[in-house]
Amino acid sequence: MIAFTRRAAGKTIAALALAGVFGAAASVSASAEDRVLRIGYQKYGTLILLKGKGTLEERLKPLGVTVKWAEFQFGPPLLEAVNAGAIDFGTTGEAPPIFAQAASNRLVYVANDPESPKGEAILVHKDSPIKTLADLKGKNVAVAKGSNAHFLLVKALEKGGVGYDDIKTSFLAPADARAAFERKSVDAWSVWDPYYAAAEAAGARVLTDGTGIVANHQFFLSARDYADKNSDILKIAVEELRKVEDWVAKDPKAAAEELAPIVGIPSSLLVTAVARTGLGVAPLTPEVVAAQQKIADTFLELKLLPKPITVSEAVFDLSKAKEAAK
């Protein structure tokens, strides 16, 4: 089994995005003469539904704005691409922005979805002797380093009275972690939907989800320089995203059916995942910012974060966005 560090895995995937998706122009910021919104998305969630509907392109076309999309397997490499100037807007869970802000002051929070603690879990094998969080002591747990599931693991261990150093962590991207879990190279797997839903349907047992342990917010982020120059574009993107989320909330079954062929998971399983998703994109509240700060402080205490950060310094006030150019 190969365990990847966040830095190695993230830089590899971000480099592929730079080279394979955007080419030589990836590091060039959109100019007023050629305005572009480059969106990084993951193979699940409301951004991918927005991509499929094409409504954002329709809304931005009269303004002379082109939309480009790039897929990422999980959050940390997506935000490394933001910091590298490869994309302008994207979505991740709670923990990736913490590490991205520590790496650069380029990142800003634009909006967030309500908490969805049931949307991630620590899974064990159906026949595993692990019955409680305390039983994780001495075990090997797969998790994507710097992801929301990583923070779930940290807080779940704390709840179970297990020291972080008392387990072995195998830092693996979701696809690699799933393979390791299926061949029982790891004892447990901390992961989010839809991987969680698929593994559960395949027989994995839920040791705990995030209920009572973590909030699990989803964040929408941008590059600071892009947001300063193109706040009108970001405001429209959030407005169109809100419409999609309203639709998902009203008809989760239809959303699951639309996601199924994209994700490669039956819609019957995705309905469960969609039901666990917090919907209603909105600006960050002081309470959400404070919660993010606690996450940052936790990773710093564990020496997983290289330096202290102040989350509030990275919050962009979209309510003050300039009006779209006519």
pLDDT tens-digit profile, the chain (326 residues):
333 233 334 444 444 444 444 443 343 343 444 699 999 999 889 999 999 999 999 999 999 999 999 999 889 999 999 999 999 999 999 999 999 999 999 999 999 999 999 999 999 999 999 999 999 999 999 999 999 999 999 999 999 999 999 999 999 999 999 999 999 999 999 999 999 999 999 999 999 999 999 999 999 999 999 999 999 999 999 999 999 999 999 999 999 999 999 888 899 989 999 999 999 999 999 999 999 999 999 999 999 999 999 999 999 999 877 664 44
What are the structure tokens assigned to 2, written together?
């190969």
Fold of 117-209: D-Maltodextrin-Binding Protein; domain 2 (3.40.190)
Taking the C-alpha atoms of residue 140 and residue 126, their distance in angstroms, rounded to an integer, is: 16
Q: Where are the domains of the chain?
A: 6-116+217-320, 117-209
Taking the C-alpha atoms of residue 249 and residue 223, their distance in angstroms, rounded to an integer, is: 29
Task: Identify the CATH assignment for 6-116+217-320 out of 3.40.50.2000, 3.90.1640.10, 3.40.190.10, 3.90.1300.10.
Answer: 3.40.190.10
Q: Are 6-116+217-320 and 117-209 in the same CATH fold?
A: yes
Q: Backbone dihedral region of 294: left (phi > 0), alpha (psi from -120 to 50 degrees) or beta?
A: alpha
**What pLDDT, on the 0 to 100 scale, is given for residue 323?**
60
If you write DSSP's letter for every residue of 87-146 in order, what string do you get? -SEEEE-SHHHHHHHHH-TTEEEEEEPPP-GGGEEEEE-TT-S--SGGGGTT-EEEE-TT
69 CB-near residues (< 8 Å, 6+ apart): 38, 39, 41, 51
